Amino acid sequence: MKEYDKIPIVDAARRCGVAIDSRTLRRREVEASCPFCRDHGPGKYHLSLNTATGDIRERIPVTAMGETNIYLVYCRDNKREAEILSRELVKETMHKKTNNYEKLANISYDKKDGAFRAENLAPDADVDVPGCCRRAEELFELYQRCANRKQIETICVNYLRGLEATKLSITGHMYFVPRTHMEKVDVFEDFITLLGGHNRKDTPLVVNSFYIIDDEKQRTKMTEEFYAAVKKEIAAYQERADYFIKSGSQSPSVMERWVLKIQALEEKKRHYEGVLRRELDGLDDEFATLKFLSQELQVRARNIRGKRAA
């Protein structure tokens, strides 16, 4: 039986490479730079570790006089001020063509005085508005010491990407991992087991691994899975690269990061050719287009850096 140390959420975030804004360490809400865009510039600490209102989401069916109405209750963003984070609790009534929206409350957090507030509560016969606001504050307190689902998913996806895992085209989260990464699979299993021991929800976290027979039949099946998965990745990468080019992106760091992602995908293809013992030339045209876009991003990034240095 393995023993694990309890690690505070901020320390855990640091160990995972998330840059913490040290100015917010004494606040109720600790902030960090976004792990997706890796932006560390001044004033760029825009990803909060302790968001709570996003988990407020209820579906309420109400039947009266033989007619059933369905209400959705959730929070959405308000315009953000420098020191105040603000969202509003809304009730969405579903209709056949156009849905109706009603504001039920304003929920805000003031960074200066550290106050969490729920204001302008509107009474509603079908929604427990005070209860939703209390729940938001409870989650706010909880997320100061716990990681939320999105943060855990980001860590898992990044780790699986490092294993060159290929998602299989079946329901659920099942991945094929080349045998060269089997030791890291053990680490991943231990991580999920550790998470399961601290899970605050009723849904259990289960992870299992098993070996696949290395024969021609299985390699053919895995080749089909590789093509299906990588086709989706290529389409997503092409869309992003095309967007940066057409929008005239002025961020060389972002473009260079996507160039590295494209190179990693090409390296993954070469590695799988060795694992599956065959040439994976079924996507040569797609990779050629992706490489062209990658070269264009490199040229643009280089030109922007050259102009700034001049």
Q: In this structure, are 162 and 130 located in the same domain?
A: no
pTM: 0.59
The tokens for 268 are 């993954």
150 domain-assigned: no
Instruction: Note the pLDDT of residue 52.
Output: 65
Number of domains in the chain: 3
Q: Band of the pLDDT at 36, cuts 50, 70, 90?
A: very low
Residue 198 lies in a domain: yes
pLDDT category at 141 given cuts 50, 70, 90 is: confident
Pairing status of strand 115-119 against strand 84-93: unpaired
Q: Tell me the average pLDDT of the chain.
A: 83
Identity of residue 227: Y
Question: Taking 90 as the threshold, does the pLDDT of residue 176 lie above it?
Answer: yes
- pLDDT 10s digits, 191-249: 888 888 888 777 788 888 988 888 999 999 999 999 999 999 999 999 999 999 999 99
Domain presence at residue 305: yes
Residues 42 and 61 in one domain: no
Residues 200 and 301 in one domain: yes
| Domain end among 86, 107, 142 | 142
Same domain, 182 and 300: yes
Q: How far apart are CA 203 and CA 23, in angstroms?
A: 36
Domain co-membership, 64 together with 169: no
Same domain membership, residue 182 and residue 77: no
137/111 same-domain check: yes
Question: Which range marks the domain in which residue 128 is found?
Answer: 53-142
The predicted-structure confidence for 147-167, as pLDDT tens digits, reads as follows 777 778 888 988 998 999 999
Q: What's the pLDDT at 139?
A: 82
Lowest mean pLDDT across 5-9, 187-191, 192-196, 249-253: 5-9
82 vs 308 pLDDT, higher one: 308
Phi-psi region of 248 (alpha: psi -120 to 50; beta: other; left: phi over 0): left
DSSP string, 110-174: ETTTTEEEEESPPP-SS--HHHHHHHHHHHHHHTTTS--HHHHHHHHHHHHHHTT-EE-SSSSS-
